[in-house]
Amino acid sequence: MTAKNFLYAQSGGVTPVINASAAGIMHTARQYPELGAVYAARNGIIGVLREELFDTTSMLDEQVMALRHTPGGTFGSCRYKLKGVAESRAEYERLIEVFKAHDIGIFFYNGGGDSADTAFKISQMGTQLGFPIQCIGVPKTIDNDLPITDVCPGFPTVAKYVAIATMEASLDVMSMSASSTKVFILEVMGRHAGWIAAAAGLAQRQSGDAPQLILFPEISFDQPAFLQRVQRSVTEHGYCTVVVSEGVRDDTGKFLSDSGVRDAFGHAQLGGVAPRIAALIKGELGHKCHWAVADYLQRSARHIASRVDVEQAWAVGRAAVEFAAAGESGVMPVIERVSSKPYQWRIAKAQLSAMANQEKLMPRTFIDASGFAITQACRDYLAPLIAGEDYPPYRDDGLPDYLRPGQCPLLPQKLAKWTKTE
């Protein structure tokens, strides 16, 4: 294989462990001296178009390892849609120009379904434009909605955070419920897929435990049945914890929490369904409610990471380099479950074309007949993913010792400025 440099880019919503995949890539690439340098795009594909590329060769090995326990996306991410070559030919030509200028032969795109689509298009267009690029996808998304892979890196840590937050907040509302708050509502992310909401169900160790109700995007919101069950829980247990997915819809398919804002991929910005549910309960049942929107707190909760998640995020990064070194292109390392009890997994290979633009929703068999709880099959799937801890190191000031962004310089630019994304 000719010595060509690697380019790594992060894409879409970040996760608590996306940097662990970056670390897996950088650490592994350093074990192959015959391969080139690893560059990292600033803010994803936008940074490639703008020729803003970090030279990670100056990062010390300890800094690479510190990425493994640092949340956020250290190099910056983006939501930016590359259209088909017919509509966006200038962008593809520019990408290839940047790849050529910096002798980049391998492109790692760390993202979800939209990013798999982008990486797939780049691999096709590179060939068509006479500069073949090995494109390797690296999976991540807290939504856990990628096809083929058993689990998406990022999801298990969010699942662990949401399950623990549900358990802890429920102990609080239980304490207050005799004279004050009777209902706690936690809103979680997940867009069209209820995986994160389902994970809150892990907090329920015995029948009657919180969360008493989960609202999934896969089940249209049945207001009378919901209110009846909230009241039943308050009557039986004195309180009620509700976990609601941001993607819950009414029976016409309309999001209860659509803010009206759309991103570059046309996805609605969601958020704010918890206060609506709280107002409904207060108005119809008269109970005092507290609510929380977990929002970016769940997506960045590296302090309570699942050990399985960190190991898998690192492993897909390492496998991406191994695939590249073996000359692969248009593929993505994915997680294959070998067994649930004991939990065993391994890396498998998927085609990017099969990963692109598809959403894996919760199977109906994972939601119980009432539509408000998870089944044992779902619990069996989820339980091993949150096992084990991987705490970040802490400093004397009591805060985690996270790597600060900006640890490496940008490469000198060689091309004319690109202003079309500004």
Give catalytic residue positions: 143
> Is 13 or 126 the residue whose CB approaches ligand F6P more closely?
13
Give the number of other CB atoms < 10 A from CB of residue 285. 16
Shortest distance (Å) from residue 139 CB to ligand F6P: 12
- Indicate which single residue of 11, 141, 233, 245 sits in contact with ligand F6P (rule: CB under 6 A): 141
For strand 240-245 and strand 183-188, is the pairing parallel, antiparallel, or unpaired?
A: parallel
Separation CA 8–CA 75 (nearest Å):
9
Of 151-180, which residues contact ligand F6P (CB under 6 A)?
none
Shortest distance (Å) from residue 370 CB to ligand F6P: 25
Separation CA 312–CA 348 (nearest Å):
12
Question: What are the CA-CA distances from residue 394 to residues 20, 303, 317, 399, 415 (Å)?
Answer: 18, 10, 25, 5, 42
Instruction: Please report whether residue 71 would count as binding ligand F6P according to CB under 6 A.
Output: no
> Is 190 or 317 the residue whose CB approaches ligand F6P more closely?
190
Separation CA 152–CA 302 (nearest Å):
16
Instruction: Please report whether residue 142 would count as binding ligand F6P according to CB under 6 A.
Output: yes
Residue type (1 letter), 186 = L
- Contact mark string toward ligand F6P, 345..384, x via CB under 6 A: ----------------------------------------
- Contact mark string toward ligand F6P, 111..130, x via CB under 6 A: --------------------
> Is 272 or 388 the residue whose CB approaches ligand F6P more closely?
272
Closest-CA residue to 136 (of 123, 145, 153): 123
Rg (CA), the chain: 22
Classify residue 204 by its DSSP letter.
Answer: -
Instruction: Please report whether residue 270 would count as binding ligand F6P according to CB under 6 A.
Output: yes
> Is 182 or 191 the residue whose CB approaches ligand F6P more closely?
191
24: tokens are 């897996």
Helix (H) or strand (E) holding 53: strand 53-55
Shortest distance (Å) from residue 372 CB to ligand F6P: 21
Shortest distance (Å) from residue 93 CB to ligand F6P: 28
Separation CA 298–CA 372 (nearest Å):
22
Give the CB-nearest residue to ligand F6P.
Answer: 13
Would you say the C-alpha torsion 20, 21, 23, 24 has a positive or negative sign?
A: positive
Classify residue 412 by its DSSP letter.
Answer: P
Shortest distance (Å) from residue 199 CB to ligand F6P: 13
Shortest distance (Å) from residue 12 CB to ligand F6P: 5
- Indicate which single residue of 41, 189, 378, 385 sits in contact with ligand F6P (rule: CB under 6 A): 189
Site size for ligand F6P, by CB under 6 A? 14
Segment interacting with ligand F6P, rule: CB under 6 A, options 51-59, 129-137, 139-147, 272-280: 139-147
Segment interacting with ligand F6P, rule: CB under 6 A, options 40-48, 135-143, 199-207, 400-408: 135-143
Segment interacting with ligand F6P, rule: CB under 6 A, options 92-100, 113-121, 186-194, 210-218: 186-194
Q: Judge contact between 36 and 3, C-beta under 8 A.
A: yes
Separation CA 382–CA 9 (nearest Å):
29
- Which residues, other chains included, contact 362 with Cβ-Cβ below 8 Å and sequence gap of 6+? 193, 194, 195, 198, 216, 218, 378
Give the number of other CB atoms < 10 A from CB of residue 346. 11
Cα atoms in the Cβ-side hemisphere of radius 13 Å centred on 387: 13
> Is 16 or 105 the residue whose CB approaches ligand F6P more closely?
16
Segment interacting with ligand F6P, rule: CB under 6 A, options 28-36, 59-67, 166-174, 188-196: 188-196
Separation CA 151–CA 201 (nearest Å):
17
Shortest distance (Å) from residue 15 CB to ligand F6P: 8
Q: Which residues pair with 245 in a beta bridge?
A: 188
Instruction: Please report whether residue 13 would count as binding ligand F6P according to CB under 6 A.
Output: yes
Give the number of other CB atoms < 10 A from CB of residue 80. 20
Shortest distance (Å) from residue 409 CB to ligand F6P: 27
By CB under 6 A, name the binding residues for ligand F6P: 12-13, 79, 141-143, 189-191, 246, 263, 269-270, 299
